[in-house]
Amino acid sequence: MNRLIRIWNQNRGKIIITALVVVFFFIIIRALNGVAKRSLQQRNNNTNTAWVEEEQIPNKSILTGEKVNTETTKTNVSVIEEFVNSCNENNIEKAYNLLTDDCKETLFKTKEKFIQNYYNLIFTEPRTTKIENYKNSSKTNTYKVTFLGDILGTGDVSDKTSKKDYITVEKDSGKLNINSLITTNDINKKLDQNGIVVTVAKQEIYIDYEIYKIKVQNNTNKEICMDTRKSTKSVYAVGTDNVKYTAFTNEISSSLYEIIAYGSRTYNLKINKKYNASIRTKKIAFTDIVEDYEKYKNENIDERLKLEVEW
C-alpha cells in the first residue's frame, strides 16, 4: 500500500494527464460514432423518402410499363392539377387557357362551350384526382384521370360519382388536350378520280377512335353515291400495320353520301381505331362508290368505283 502511495506521489502529474487523455479520446470516439449513426439514419431516411416519392408519381404506363422521365412527369402532373384546381375554384378563364389551341378549335371554340360540354358535366362537385400514366409518344404524354368526389365533404368513399377522362399533355406547349383528345393533324390530301374529288382535310385522334374531316366534290354531270351502306366494311382506314379499320358509316346520314351533279358534301368520318402511338393511319378508302346513282336506283347496277386517299 505504501508502495502504491509512493508511486502516486512520484507520478501524480503523469497519471492525471494520461487519464484525462484517455477520457478525452473516449468522448471523441463516442461523439464521432453518434455523428456517423445520425448521418447513416439521415441517408436512409432520404433514400426512403425518394423511393416513396418515386413510387407515388405516375411515371410508369399502366398499359406497357414504359417509364417517363421523373421531372417530366412532375411537370405534367402539375399542369393537370392546376387545371383541376382552377375548375374547382370556378376559375374558368384560367382552366380554359390551359387547353391547347387545337383542343379549343376542335372541341371548345368558346369558354361557354367548355362550360357546357365539359365543366358542367365533370365538376358537379369539388374534385380530387387519381392520375395514371397511360400512353406516350415522342410529342405527347397521355394520362388516365379519375375525378373523385368530395370525400371530405360528403364522407362517401364509393366511386359512384367519379368521372373519367384521358388528358394529354403536349410536350412542346405544355398545355392540355382533354375529353379524350390526343392530338390533331392537318392532312390536306386529295384524290381526283373520274371527276370525283375526295379531300381528307384533318385528322382528330382520340383514345378510342379517329375522326376525319372529309370533303367530296362531284365534278360530273351525274348524281353519285359515296356508299350504298349495304356493307359495314366498304369504308375504312388502313394503318401502317396494314390492318383495315372500319368506319362508323351508320353515324352519317345516308343523304350525305348522295351528291348531286357538280355538288359537294362535307362530313366527319369516324374510324374504329384505338390510339396507338406506334401505328398511324396512312389512307382512307371508299370502295362502294356509285357513279350514276339515278341509274343505280332504277336498275340496281353492280359497277362500283374504288377510291383511296393516301398520305
How much of the chain, in percent, has pLDDT values that exceed 70?
79
**What was the pLDDT predicted at 24?**
58
Supply angle C-alpha 148, 150, 155, rounded to 5. 115
10 pLDDT band, cuts 50/70/90, is low
> What sign results for the dihedral spanned by CA atoms 270, 272, 274, 279?
negative
**What was the pLDDT predicted at 41?**
47
How much of the chain, in percent, has pLDDT values that exceed 90?
73
The phi and psi torsions of 281 (rounded to 5 degrees) equal -80, 135
Instruction: Look up the pTM and report it.
Output: 0.80
CA separation (Å) from 2 to 7, 179, 194, 256? 9, 99, 132, 125
Please tell me which residue, 31 or 115, carries the higher pLDDT value.
Answer: 115
Q: Which of 14-18, 116-120, 177-181 has the lowest mean pLDDT?
A: 14-18
For cell 351525274, the residue is 222
CB atoms closer than 10 angstroms to residue 19? 10
pLDDT surpasses 80 at 19: no
90 alpha-carbon distance from chain centroid: 24
